[in-house]
A = this chain, B = another copy of it.
Amino acid sequence: MKQFTSVADVPNVSNLIEDVLRIKGTQDREFGKHKNLTMLFFNPSLRTRMSTQKAAQNLGMDVSVLDSGQGWKLETEPGAIMNGDAQEHICDAIKVMSSYTDVLAVRSFPTLTDKEADYNETLLKAVIASSQVPVLSLESATRHPLQSLTDMATIVESGIRKPKIAVTWAPHPKCLPQAVVNSFLEWSAFLDADVWLTHPPGYELDAPFTQHATVTHNQLEALEDADFVYCKNWSSVTHYGQRLEGYDDWMVDTMKMSRTKQGKFMHCLPVRRNVVATDAVIDSSIVYEQAANRVWAAQAVLQQLLKA
C-alpha cells in the first residue's frame, strides 16, 4: 500500500480489516524498528494522535510529532509571491519533512467555507505531491479513513452477519466536517451489510458517498431493526459548512434505540452528551471498544505502509 488516504488506496479491504482483528492486542517491536513516523497536525487531535503513536510504538518505530497550530503559516498556492504571512511553501516544508522520516502522517480539516477546495482535497494533494515517503491521512477535509477502518473492524468483530447499519445525523452546537460520515459510507460499501443513512432535509451528503446506502429523512425507519447505530453530526453540504436551525429532536435516546435489534451504538468521539445522544445510550454503547480499536487499525495500516 503506497499511501492511506481513502478506501481507494487499499488493495484489499477485507484483508485489511482481517489484519486489524488478527493483530489486536499484539506488539511487533521488530517490524518497524529504526523507522520513524512523523505526525504533522494542522488541527488538534486526541484519539488519533494517541492511538497512532501507540500503534507506531507497538511496531518499535520512533515517533516525531509536529503541531502546526500556532503561527506556522504555509503557502499552498503554486507560483505565489510570498510576501505575506506564510513563511514557507507547503511543497518545500513537505519535501524536507518527508526526507527525515519513513511515514508522514498528516491531519487537516476542511475550511467549511470553500467546498471546491475541500472536496478537491487541495491540502492533502499538495502534501502527497511533495512527500518522498508514504502519506498516512489522520483525517483530511472530506475523509477519515483510519476511523472508518476502525469502524469496519469493530462491526466485523461483533460477528453479526449481514447487519443492518443505520447511520444517523445527530444535533450539535458547532459546524462539523463531513469527513467521518463520508468515509464511513465509502468503507461500509465493502461490508456485506444493509446500510441506511438518515438525516434531516438540508443535510444531504455529496452524491458519490451515498450510492450504496438507502437514504431516508425518517430516522425511525432507518433505526428499525438496526444492528448498529452509527451516530454523527455533520454540517450541511448544500448550504456549505453551515448548521441549519432545528432538528434537536434527532438526538438518539433509549426510546429510539428500543426500535433497533438490540442495536449497538457507535460514535467516533468526542461526543456531546445529552445533545448528540443521551447518557444512557452512550453508557451502554460500544464507543470505548471502538475507540480502543483505533490502535490496531493504525498498526495494521502502518505495517502495510512500511512494507511498501
Which residues of A does B touch, CB under 8 Å?
A: 27, 29, 34, 36, 38, 44, 46-47, 49-51, 53-54, 57, 62, 64, 66, 69-72, 75, 79-84, 87-89, 92-93, 95-97, 99-101, 173, 269-275, 279, 282, 287-288, 291-292, 295
Contact = CB atoms under 8 A, between A and B. Distances in A.
Contacts of A97: 46, 50
A271 B38 contact: no
B291 A83 contact: no
Given A44-B72, A50-B97, A81-B274, 19 more contacts: A46-B96, A50-B64, A50-B101, A54-B62, A54-B100, A69-B70, A79-B274, A79-B279, A80-B273, A82-B272, A82-B274, A83-B272, A88-B271, A92-B271, A92-B273, A92-B282, A96-B269, A100-B292, A100-B295
A276 B49 CA distance: 36
Nearest to A79: B279
B50 A100 contact: yes
A87 B80 CA distance: 37
A173 B82 CA distance: 9
Contacts of A93: 46, 270
Contacts of A282: 92
A254 to B, nearest CB: 15
A93 B89 CA distance: 35
Given A54-B101, A87-B270, A273-B75, A46 B34 contact: no
A53 B47 contact: no
Contacts of A88: 46, 269-271
A271 B57 CA distance: 34
Contacts of A82: 272-275
A273 B89 CA distance: 7
Contacts of A291: 95-96, 99
Contact of A83 (B36, B87, B275): B275
B71 A44 contact: yes
A69 B174 CA distance: 21
A271 to B, nearest CB: 7
Given A54-B101, A101-B54, A291-B99, A173 B36 contact: no
